[in-house]
């Protein structure tokens, strides 16, 4: 019998909802857990000793219970940060509780022998750094934009003079404000005349603007590859900035050399899933006109036209028999 899939994510996660629904339709046991629920609504007891070199024990939510040895696959999405759970505590107590929960509960959930992780959080953490992504792309022979990471206004001005026009993008998303509201900073063109000493405050990512004819999102799940060309009706530089419901999509074939590089890329980071963004400078038939922008190792895909097919690929990847455990 197929063993349990542990889905680690927040309560409101539409992407995870798709996968859970597909697994339920297949009759695969699923336990959904948000580690930040730790407390009366989430309890656990895990044991290990010299006679049994793998964690045993149980994890209990308000509606489910699972034995550690039953977990065959872990779909690690976007759990709520522990800091939210302990926000009411004084800073020292909060930081202590967060660290203890992360090293204790996460420490076990991230170390279940024989379980397939999609993706393992440690692999995601390594793969989220854009400098590492760009270096890996270049090492695999993929085209990348000329890039500068700096906090020096002179270096930025010299880069812009050599490679202009230049765009600036963030390394990470914009954190929530004190009032809890979130926002975004989209990729945008920058005027070198505005470079001044304020650049020294933190790191900035500048890239030569690609004269693109379109964008492509490539979603790789295991060995399956799904690709959609994306266009914003208003011709926005960054298609993410507008109404996603108004985006124009069209399936596109990924050139074999590009596809092979993406599988190698994921393998090099220990990933089995990733969402890749490319800029095209022609109709997409020639791999020389595919420019690799980034890879989100924990990206969303529920809004894409082929979301149902991607969902089934996830369900296939997570529907595995539990491997033997010591």
Asked if residue 198 and residue 281 are part of one domain, the reply reads no
Instruction: Single out the residue in 181, 208, 235 at which a domain terminates.
Output: 208
Asked whether residue 74 is domain-assigned, the answer is: yes
Instruction: Please check whether residue 16 lies inside any domain of the structure.
Output: yes
In a shared domain, residues 180 and 135? no
Query: What CATH code is carried by the domain that includes residue 102?
Result: 3.40.50
**The pLDDT value given to residue 325:** 44
At 271, which CATH number?
Answer: 3.30.470.20
Residues 136 and 245 in one domain: yes
Looking at the 3D structure of the chain, how many domains does it have? 3
DSSP 147-206: EEEES-HHHHHHHHHHH-SEEEE-SSPPPP-TTS-------EEE-GGG--GGGGGS-EEE
Is pLDDT above 80 for 244?
no
Which of 227-231, 241-245, 319-323 comes out lowest in average pLDDT?
319-323
Distances (CA, A) of 3 to 31, 32, 114, 145: 11, 14, 11, 44
Same domain, 130 and 173: no
- The CA distance from 24 to 16, in Å, is 12
Longest dimension (CA), the chain: 68
Per-residue pLDDT, 216 = 96
* Residues 220/276, Cβ–Cβ less than 8 Å: yes
Query: What is the overall mean pLDDT for the chain?
Result: 92
- Residue 2 clears pLDDT 90, i.e. is over it: no
Containing structural domain, residue 164? 146-208
Regarding beta strands 116-118 and 71-76, do their DSSP bridges make them parallel or antiparallel, or are they unpaired? parallel
Residues 17 and 67 in one domain: yes
What pLDDT does residue 1 have?
Answer: 44
User: Average pLDDT of 136-150?
Assistant: 97
Clarify whether residues 55 and 104 are in a common domain. yes
Looking at 192, 208, 224, the residue that finishes a domain is: 208
- What residues are paired with 57 via a beta bridge? 46
Closest to 98 measured CA to CA, from 38, 176, 181 = 38
Whether the predicted pLDDT of 87 surpasses 80? yes
User: Residues 231, 282: one domain?
Assistant: yes
Q: Looking at residue 180, what is its pLDDT? A: 67
What is the domain-level CATH number for residue 164? 3.30.1490
Averaged pLDDT, 281-301: 90
Q: How confident is the model at residue 173 (pLDDT cuts 50, 70, 90)?
A: confident
pLDDT attached to residue 326: 42
Mean pLDDT value across residues 297-326 = 85
Residue 323 lies in a domain: no
In a domain, 57, yes or no: yes
Torsion of CA 247, 251, 255, 260, to 10 degrees: 90
306 belongs to a structural domain:
no
**Residue 23 belongs to some domain of the structure:** yes
Express as a percent the part of the chain with pLDDT over 70: 97
Q: Is residue 191 part of a domain?
A: yes
Domain contains 129: yes
Query: Are residues 185 and 216 both part of a single domain?
Result: no
Q: Are 172 and 194 in contact (CB under 8 A)?
A: no
Question: Is the distance from CB of 72 to CB of 113 less than 8 angstroms?
Answer: no
Q: What are the distances in angstroms from CA 197 to CA 140, 152, 194, 201?
A: 36, 8, 10, 8
> Whole-angstrom Cα distance, residue 75 to residue 254?
26
pTM as predicted? 0.91
Residues 199 and 219 in one domain: no
pLDDT tens-digit map of 178-224: 776 777 788 899 999 999 999 999 999 999 999 998 899 999 999 99
At residue 235, the pLDDT reads 77
Confidence band for 19, pLDDT divided at 50, 70 and 90:
very high
């Amino acid at each position: 019998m197929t063993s349990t899939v542990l889905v680690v994510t927040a309560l409101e996660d539409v992407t995870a909802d798709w996968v859970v629904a597909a697994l339920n339709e297949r009759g695969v046991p699923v336990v959904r857990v948000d580690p930040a629920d730790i407390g009366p609504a989430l309890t656990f007891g895990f044991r290990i000793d010299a006679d049994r070199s793998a964690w045993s024990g149980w994890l209990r939510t308000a509606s489910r219970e699972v034995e550690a040895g039953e977990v065959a696959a872990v779909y690690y999405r976007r759990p709520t940060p522990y800091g939210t759970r302990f926000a009411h505590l004084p800073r020292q107590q909060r930081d202590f509780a967060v660290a203890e929960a992360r090293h204790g509960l996460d420490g076990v959930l991230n170390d279940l022998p024989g379980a397939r992780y999609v993706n393992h959080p440690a692999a995601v953490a390594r793969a989220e750094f854009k400098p590492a992504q760009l270096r890996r792309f270049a090492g695999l022979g993929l085209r990348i934009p000329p890039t500068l990471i700096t906090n020096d206004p002179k270096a930025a001005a010299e880069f812009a003079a050599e490679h202009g026009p230049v765009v600036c993008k963030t390394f990470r998303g914009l954190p929530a404000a004190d009032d809890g509201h979130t926002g975004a900073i989209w990729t945008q063109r920058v005027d070198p005349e505005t470079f001044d000493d304020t650049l020294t405050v933190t790191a900035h990512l500048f890239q030569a603007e690609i004269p693109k004819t379109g964008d492509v999102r490539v979603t790789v799940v295991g060995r399956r590859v799904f690709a959609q060309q994306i266009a914003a009706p208003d011709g926005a530089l960054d298609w993410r900035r507008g109404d996603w419901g108004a985006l124009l999509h069209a399936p596109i074939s990924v050139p074999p050399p590009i596809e092979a590089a993406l599988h190698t890329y994921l393998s090099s980071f220990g990933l089995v899933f990733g969402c890749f963004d490319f800029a095209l400078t022609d109709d997409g038939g020639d791999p020389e006109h595919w420019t690799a922008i980034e890879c989100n190792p924990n990206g969303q895909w529920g809004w894409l036209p082929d979301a149902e097919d991607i969902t089934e690929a996830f369900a296939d990847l997570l529907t595995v028999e539990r491997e033997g455990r010591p």
